Structure 1
Amino acid sequence: MKKTLSLLVVLLIGLTISRQAHAQTNNWAVGFRIGEPAGVNIRKYFGENHAFDLNFGTYGGIYGTRRGYRKGVYKNVGFSVQGHYLWHGSIGKAETLHYYYGFGGQINRRRYYPDQFRVGNFYDNTISIGGSGVAGLEYFLPNKPLSVFLETGAYVEVIPAPFFLGFQSGLGVRLNL
């Protein structure tokens, strides 16, 4: 994971120095996100105001690794894949600031420590599936292929713990190709 993030940072810096572009919202964007979930972010813009956003990386680190869940706890950071269908638009005439919002789903994998096995510190590898929503702001740097974003949202689990609610937020950077 560290090698992937390092390679991505080097790529972002190299492309920023070597080329200049206006904000493009009809192509691909790739970057990284710090938050929950944290990791690599890929976005595909299409149409006038639509996009699909995909995050994959870690889940459970920002708001605490120890979290009550069902009849037990999570004690670690897990893996997550999250996808959202987005609507977006510009704020103001300069078109450097955009808003976006959308809905989608999320799959998580974490270690679940049931209370009944507390003495032995045994765990189950739990896979959870649920719906998620997101809203955010994205600032496109003038004459640069980079954008910075801030977003917030929520995850509502369907399986195996219906209505388990997790709040999510993130800050990141994307290279707009």
Structure 2
Amino acid sequence: MKKALVLVVLALTFNAAAQDYKGHYGIGLALGEPSGFSIKKFNNNNEAFQYTLGYSAVSGQEGINIGADYLRHNYEIITAEKGRIPFYYGGGIHLKSYNDAGNQLYARVPLGVAYEAADFPFDVFFEFAPGIAVLPSPSLVTNFAIGARFYFDVRKAVEKIDEAI
């Protein structure tokens, strides 16, 4: 039964329209500062929320990082014959909990570029995000990442699982 549910969910993800992520969730991994999980939820074709849960491994600043960003996508700057290449930008807030002691709260401005595959609900991205820490004291922060996400429609997946049960 569990195998059947997994197969149904996987089949749904392959049926998702690769070019229309509206209402879909992208789940993947990012490597960089911080490295960890990346979740992206498109509200419409140009706006999305991005959530991250990662680990910062910079010497002396190791710790867990959690954050949320609001992103706008521009598909007109870079074009591709197949797929799409949006430039994206936005603003966000992140909290870093140091292993040794203390927390850091900072605002950041993510700037990135992604490649959205034409025939598969998948993207790869590079992101640079300068920021300013406001707690415990003002300081500059730099985040960067390269990663990939797989997109699926949660509502369709839940419906199919309900039907299978």
Q: TM-score, normalised by structure 2?
A: 0.75
List gaps (5 residues or longer) in structure 1: 1-10, 67-73, 113-124
Provide the rounded CA distance (Å) in 1 between the counterparts of 2:80 and 2:147. Answer: 24
Aligned residue for 2:38? 41
Provide the rounded CA distance (Å) in 2 between the counterparts of 1:111 and 1:78. Answer: 5
Structure 1 counterpart of 2:64, from 50, 61, 79: 79
Q: How many residues align?
A: 139
Matched, 1:128 2:104: yes
Q: Secondary structure of 1:47's partner?
A: coil
Work out the percentage of aligned pairs sharing the same amino acid.
Answer: 24
Aligned residue for 1:118? none
List gaps (5 residues or longer) in structure 2: 1-5, 153-165
Question: 1:89 offset after TM fit, Å?
Answer: 2.4
Question: 1:93 offset after TM fit, Å?
Answer: 6.6
Aligned residue for 1:105? 93
Provide the rounded CA distance (Å) in 1 between the counterparts of 2:113 and 2:33. Answer: 16
Aligned residue for 1:175? 150
What per-residue deviation string (whole Å, max 9, x for no partner) do you get for residues 59-85 of structure 1?
A: 2x2xx313xxxxxxx4xx200011111
Structure 1 counterpart of 2:59, from 51, 57, 65: 65
Structure 2 counterpart of 1:19, from 14, 17, 28: 14
Question: 1:145 offset after TM fit, Å?
Answer: 1.3
Provide the rounded CA distance (Å) in 1 between the counterparts of 2:79 and 2:130. Answer: 27
Provide the rounded CA distance (Å) in 2 between the counterparts of 1:28 and 1:39. Answer: 17
Q: Secondary structure of 1:19's partner?
A: helix
Question: 1:158 offset after TM fit, Å?
Answer: 0.3
Q: Secondary structure of 1:25's partner?
A: coil
Q: TM-score, normalised by structure 1?
A: 0.71
Q: Secondary structure of 1:80's partner?
A: strand
Provide the rounded CA distance (Å) in 1 between the counterparts of 2:44 and 2:122. Answer: 20
Question: 1:97 offset after TM fit, Å?
Answer: 1.0
Matched, 1:153 2:140: no
Q: What is the letter of the counterpart of residue 134 of structure 2? A: V
Provide the rounded CA distance (Å) in 2 between the counterparts of 1:56 and 1:93. Answer: 31
Q: What is the letter of the counterpart of residue 80 of structure 1? A: N
Question: 1:15 offset after TM fit, Å?
Answer: 4.4
